């Protein structure tokens, strides 16, 4: 172990950084936020002053080349993840990049190859994977609490009111599946502990060729299936369930639980429910501390760009199905 702290820089003043990741870095035990960059120098300066960040830059390039920055967090639009991750890796910077890691699996593998070639770490910022409740839910499934796992159900939706939001821009990699459905796909694969062999999806497409809602099914190589829906047009809904021959685990607010204490609900049919309490945690802080520890000590990451590529292969197949009237697509 080391007492050194990972020196972070952030590319852009995006809301996700402002609301969650930047404060998590500043609160972390092994990291410090030393720089922020924007394509607008005045905006970067104002942001740095507001958040107590020592340095600001008017270009992304300047931050990436800064010698006093060890790692960058990238919350840019999805279409920019690949080029800026590669540029950062080539400059010797570790990269924590927002989800989805790229537009497709091929881009993910290209990004991981760049990280490997330059001896740096790369990880997709799926913060929910670091919450102790997610670990506990997966452990309970593995321990047979629900019996033989048969069905995984999930949803993630919220009502987007601004039509100019980048989530509604196809060129930037927008869409319900890319923005929130990726959590459903990732959690299903994580809970199942394996990859699906076939998928099917139905979507509603906007005039701008963006899916503003999508419903999908993942079929695995046994009797297990996963069903999910995601939407940018309906009221907020966020949960997952793992249903088996002996019971059901239900997790509300499964991806954004906040910092307070939470529960896993074990449903036993007419026998009622058992509440399994889990002590609250800041999933963002746990994520950045894990990443910093791996970067500082050259340790293993919980998952790499190869895992992100696997998730995007499923997403690509779901889109292929949705664009062909729901025709099943084999993986």
Tell me the fold of 6-126.
Rossmann fold (3.40.50)
Which residues fall within 8 angstroms of residue 178, CB to CB, at 6 or more apart? 78, 100, 315
What's the pLDDT tens digit per position in 22-67? 999 999 999 999 999 999 999 999 999 999 999 999 999 999 999 9
From the number of C-beta atoms within 10 Å of its C-beta (0-12, 13-18, 19+), residue 48 rates as buried
Which residues of the chain does CATH 3.40.50.720 include? 6-126
What's the pLDDT tens digit per position in 291-313? 999 999 999 999 999 999 999 99
What's the pLDDT tens digit per position in 181-199? 999 999 999 999 999 999 9
Which residues of the chain does CATH 3.30.360.10 include? 128-284+313-330
Torsion-angle region of 299 (φ positive above 0: left; ψ -120 to 50: alpha; else: beta): beta
CA neighbor of 205 nearest in space, from 99, 80, 319: 319
DSSP bridge pairs for 33: 8
pTM, entire model: 0.96
Instruction: Classify 128-284+313-330 by CATH class.
Output: alpha beta
What's the pLDDT tens digit per position in 66-103? 999 999 999 999 999 999 999 999 999 999 999 999 99
């Amino acid at each position: 172990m080391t007492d050194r702290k990972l020196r972070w820089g952030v590319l852009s003043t995006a809301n996700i950084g402002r609301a969650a990741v930047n404060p998590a870095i500043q609160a972390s035990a092994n990291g410090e936020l030393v720089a922020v960059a924007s394509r607008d120098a005045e905006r970067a300066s104002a942001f740095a002053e507001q958040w107590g960040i020592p340095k600001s830059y008017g270009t992304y390039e300047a931050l990436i080349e800064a010698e006093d920055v060890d790692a960058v967090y990238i919350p840019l639009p999805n279409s920019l993840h690949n080029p800026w991750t590669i540029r950062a890796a080539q400059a010797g910077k570790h990269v924590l990049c927002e989800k989805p890691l790229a537009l497709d699996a091929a881009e993910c593998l290209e990004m991981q190859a760049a990280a490997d070639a330059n001896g740096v770490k790369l990880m997709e910022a799926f913060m929910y994977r670091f919450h102790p409740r997610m670990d506990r839910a997966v452990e309970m499934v593995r321990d047979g609490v629900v019996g033989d796992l048969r069905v995984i159900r999930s949803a993630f939706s919220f009502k987007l009111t601004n039509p100019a939001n980048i989530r509604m821009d196809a060129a930037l990699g927008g869409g319900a599946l890319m923005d929130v459905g990726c959590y459903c796909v990732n959690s299903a694969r994580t809970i199942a502990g394996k990859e699906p062999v076939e998928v099917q999806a139905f979507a509603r497409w906007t005039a701008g060729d963006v899916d503003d809602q999508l419903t999908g099914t993942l079929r695995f190589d046994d009797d297990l299936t996963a069903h999910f829906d995601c939407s940018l047009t309906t009221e907020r809904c966020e949960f997952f369930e793992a249903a088996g021959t002996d019971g059901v685990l239900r997790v509300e607010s499964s991806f954004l639980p906040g910092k307070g204490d939470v529960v896993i609900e074990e449903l036993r049919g007419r026998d009622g429910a058992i509440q399994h309490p889990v002590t609250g945690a800041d999933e963002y802080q746990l994520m950045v501390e894990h990443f910093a520890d791996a970067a500082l000590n050259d340790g293993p990451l919980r998952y790499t760009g190869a895992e992100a590529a696997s998730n995007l292969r499923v997403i690509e197949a779901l889109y292929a199905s949705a664009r062909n009237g729901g025709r099943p697509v084999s993986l």
